[in-house]
């Protein structure tokens, strides 16, 4: 009876993670009544998926007289790859052709197609789904202003930013500001591009998982609303935006000044009290103690507190005008 060859592949396909390898075994079995020709498997790999060498890949095998299973580690390659056994299969014998696959970081997966042959009379088509599982991107953003930037006379506030890679990929990180920058500093390459609407800063090198990078920036002018909003992205991950509020002190907020009212000048601008003019005495000053003054001397005069004339008696009555009444406008 002629040989009868069949091929089986993993029923669930193959799942790949960029940067690591996974096996794609193809098992070929001869269920016929005679020895087959050497087995050859040819695969067409999707874009971004490669076959890598395994130890002993593609080495010819001696003809096996027993029905023990055969294992072949297949060679690497791109696009179309081929793997062969060194001998045919005995009736009831099987061979496993082990392809080792690896995906690029931007691979999207797809379908592996191909065929298995064992002589002109045997040709088996194969189809294997390949799924590329991308590791997660994740990033954490922190930002705060310095203490001096809270004062309204600080026209160019300073902001401190820290970004940490909390995912499983190694990629650059980008930070954006919704306000233009005047200066920026970092101990790691972190150049910025500033425009009238804002600024964008991207690390010169990729950030490995667990690593962080610091950035100090000085804004170009104080934001009209006293705030600046910052975002950070790494790969497909975006950190929640952080808003730094420097505070708004009355007219120091350019777009939203506090309303002002105009009041009459008499209520808003205090006027300096005028010193009353002294009134002309209606009679000569008293010269004896028995004569009582008929009225209280004017508050603005100083005759009541002046020393008495020589030879006269000022009398027992004390002056009624005090300096703070007569000169109060000087102090308030």
Distance CA 211, CA 219 (A): 26
On whether both 71 and 174 belong to a single domain, the answer is no
Are 244 and 144 contacting, i.e. CB atoms less than 8 angstroms apart? yes
Instruction: Identify whether residues 219 and 156 lie together within a single domain.
Output: yes
Residue 109: per-residue pLDDT: 85
Could you tell me if 100 and 147 lie in one domain? no
Residue 94: the pLDDT is 94
Whether 41 and 123 map to the same domain: the answer is yes
Q: In terms of Cα–Cα distance, which of 217, 125, 226, 230 is closest to 174?
A: 230
CB atoms within 10 A of CB 154: 18
pLDDT of res. 147: 81
Q: Decide: 222 and 155 in contact? Cβ < 8 Å.
A: yes
Dihedral (Cα; 200, 206, 211, 213), 10-degree rounding: -30
Domain termination site, one of 210, 225, 252: 252
Beta-carbon neighbour count of residue 84 at 10 Å? 19
What pTM was estimated for this model as a whole? 0.54
Q: Is 257 within a domain?
A: no
Range of the domain at 148: 139-252
CATH number at residue 20: 2.60.40.10
Would residue 243 count as lying in a domain? yes
Can you say whether the dihedral through the CA atoms of 160, 209, 46, 80 is positive or negative? positive
pLDDT of residue 250: 55
Do 126 and 23 sit in the same domain of this protein?
A: yes
Question: Which tokens belong to 33?
Answer: 């009544």
Residues of the chain with pLDDT under 70: 55-66, 120-122, 248-332
Residue 96 falls within a domain, yes or no?
yes
Same domain, 124 and 162: no
Let me know how many helices (H) and strands (E) the chain has, helices first.
Answer: 3, 20
- Whether residue 179 is contained in a domain is answered as yes
d(CA 200, CA 184): 11
> Length of the chain in residues, anyone?
332
Whether residue 148 sits in one domain with residue 118 = no
The strand pairing partners of 172, in sequence order, are: none
Q: What is the CATH number of the domain that holds 203?
A: 2.60.40.740
Give the burial string for 225-249 (b: 16+ CB within 10 Å, else e): ebebbbbbbbbebebeebebebebe
Residues 144 and 128 occupy one common structural domain = no
End position of a domain, from candidates 252, 276, 296: 252
* Dist. CA 279–CA 299, nearest whole Å: 10
CB of 175 within 8 A of CB of 231? Answer: yes
For residue 181, is it within any domain? yes
Q: Are residues 106 and 196 in the same domain?
A: no
Same domain, 186 and 224: yes
In-domain check, residue 85: yes
- Distance CA(46)–CA(78), nearest Å, equals 9
- Does residue 156 sit in the same domain as residue 124? no
In a domain, 295, yes or no: no
Whether residue 44 contacts residue 101, with contact meaning beta carbons closer than 8 Å, is answered with no
323 three-class SS: helix
The helix/strand/coil state of 68 is: coil
Same domain, 119 and 11: yes
Q: Give the three-class secondary structure for 252.
A: helix
> How many domains is the chain built from?
2
* pLDDT score, position 127: 86
CA dist., res. 211 & res. 163, Å (int): 9
The residue from 132, 157, 182 where one domain ends is 132
Farthest CA pair distance, the chain? 165
What letter does residue 94 receive in the DSSP assignment? E
Domain for residue 56, yes or no? Answer: yes
Q: Are strands 21-30 and 5-8 parallel, antiparallel or unpaired?
A: antiparallel
């Amino acid at each position: 009876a002629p040989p009868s060859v069949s091929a089986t592949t993993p029923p669930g396909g193959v799942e790949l993670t960029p940067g690591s390898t996974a096996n794609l075994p193809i098992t070929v079995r001869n269920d016929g009544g005679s020895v087959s020709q050497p087995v050859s498997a040819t695969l067409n790999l999707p874009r971004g998926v490669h076959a890598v060498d395994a130890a002993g890949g593609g080495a010819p095998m001696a003809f096996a007289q027993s029905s023990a299973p055969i294992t072949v580690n297949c060679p690497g390659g791109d696009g179309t790859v081929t793997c062969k056994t060194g001998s045919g299969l005995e009736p009831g014998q099987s061979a496993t052709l082990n392809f080792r696959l690896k995906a690029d970081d931007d691979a999207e997966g797809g379908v592996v197609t191909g065929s298995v042959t064992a002589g002109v009379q045997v040709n088996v088509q194969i189809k294997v789904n390949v799924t590329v599982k991308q590791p997660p991107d994740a990033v954490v953003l922190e930002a705060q202003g310095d203490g001096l930037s809270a004062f309204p006379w600080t026209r160019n506030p300073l902001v401190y930013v820290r970004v940490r890679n909390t995912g499983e990929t190694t990629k650059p990180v980008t930070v954006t500001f919704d306000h233009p920058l005047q200066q920026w500093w970092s101990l790691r390459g972190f150049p910025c591009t500033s425009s009238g609407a804002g600024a964008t800063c991207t690390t010169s090198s990729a950030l490995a998982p667990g690593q962080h990078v610091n950035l100090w920036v000085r804004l170009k002018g104080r934001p009209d609303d006293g705030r600046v909003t910052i975002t950070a992205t790494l790969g497909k991950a975006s950190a929640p935006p952080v808003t730094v509020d420097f505070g708004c002190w009355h007219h120091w907020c350019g777009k939203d000044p506090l309303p002002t009212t105009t009041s009459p000048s008499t209520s808003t601008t205090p006027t300096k009290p005028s010193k009353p003019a002294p009134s002309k005495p209606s009679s000569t000053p008293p010269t004896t103690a028995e004569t009582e003054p008929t009225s209280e001397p004017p508050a603005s005069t100083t005759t009541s507190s002046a020393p008495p004339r020589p030879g006269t008696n000022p009398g027992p009555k004390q002056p009624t005008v005090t300096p703070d009444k007569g000169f109060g406008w000087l102090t308030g």
